[in-house]
Amino acid sequence: MGTTELLVKMVIDRWNGSIVNLNKQLNALTDEQLQKEIAPGKNRGTYLLGHLIAVHDDMLNLLDMGEKLFPELAEPFIKKADDSTTQTPTAADLRSMWEKQNSYLQEKFEEMKPEAWFEKHTAVSEEDFAKEPHRNKLNIIITRTSHLQYHSGQIVLLN
């Protein structure tokens, strides 16, 4: 296995492992538990799950893997803070979106050739990318895995 292939495997394995861990946590929670605040006065579990789906949807654009699956989530789960008076998707809706999105991402990731991960992501210009080649698609996975882990450490508190 060449270095490129190896590195891509290491990064994608960590992404997949993070998804598996969060799925275990989610499966251990009832919808009622998921709707609770992770700590007094902090975000609800449903807000965090919606936030992760919205951020990963945005990632589809950055990776040039097509349109967002759930564009309606950006407003309530990225632009706005958690607000229990607003109508948002139910815990069951969010779980179903999360699963659908993960299957889709999995499929897209498997289609990628190792070298393709080192291409520029869509939010960086050709000019900047020439100077900053680390702003590639694989780096998006590295930073989004970090983000996913951060919020997984919060969702686990509901259990």
Binding footprint of its own copies on the chain (CB under 8 A) = 1, 3-4, 6-7, 9-11, 13-14, 17-18, 38-40, 42, 118, 133-134, 136, 138-139, 142-143, 145-147, 149-154, 157
CB of 35 to its own copies, least distance (A): 16
Q: Position 148: which residue type? A: L
Q: How far apart are CA 156 and CA 159, in angstroms?
A: 6
Closest contact distance (angstroms) between CB of 132 and its own copies is 10
Q: Please identify, using beta-carbon distances, which residue of 13 and 72 lies nearer to its own copies.
A: 13
Residue 73 contacts residue 50 (beta carbons within 8 Å): yes
Closer to its own copies at the Cβ: 66 or 133? 133
The nearest distance, CB 85 to its own copies, in angstroms, is 22
| Angle of the 3-27 helix axis to the 137-155 helix axis, nearest 10 | 20
CA distances from 86 to 25, 38, 56, 70, 83 (A): 25, 18, 22, 18, 6
CB of 133 to its own copies, least distance (A): 6
